[in-house]
Amino acid sequence: MSSEHLARRVAAITDEKMAGEIVALDMRDLVAYTDFLVICTARNERQAKAVHDEVYAQLKAEGLTPDHVEGERQASWVLMDYLDCVLHVFVPEARDYYRLETLWGEAPRLELDLAGAAPRAASGSG
């Protein structure tokens, strides 16, 4: 599976689990440690854990397991490193704090055709 296909697959799985604000950043010309970052928002820690579990299960069924996982216990920021693609699942407060899209603002975005890939809307309680 190509790194771009993996990024699209990861994004699609996060979308299936109702993660929001899904973006994929093309890091190939910027860093050596990965080709793509997929970033998404979970409503809360429970959903972040569910997104992690689903990505892990579906990709494992396809023969892929992450090289490294961080944060799955606390689940306010879960990182799943598939080497060619790194998934970041944030709760809203953590995403706003770390602002990876701003940090990597020069990275081109991979065009995604997903319901959750819409631009960020104003946050409300809920």
CATH class of this structure's domain 3-112: alpha beta
Condensed to tens digits (0 to 9), the pLDDT of residues 24-56 reads: 999 999 999 999 999 999 999 999 999 999 999
* Domain ranges across the chain: 3-112
**Percentage of residues in the chain having pLDDT higher than 70:** 90
Mean pLDDT of the chain: 92
pLDDT at 115 over 90: no
Say what the pLDDT of residue 1 is: 87
Q: Residue 72 class from Cβ within 10 Å (0-12 exposed, 13-18 middle, 19+ buried)?
A: middle
User: How is residue 32 annotated by DSSP?
Assistant: S
pTM: 0.89
Distances (CA, A) of 73 to 1, 27, 66: 29, 27, 16
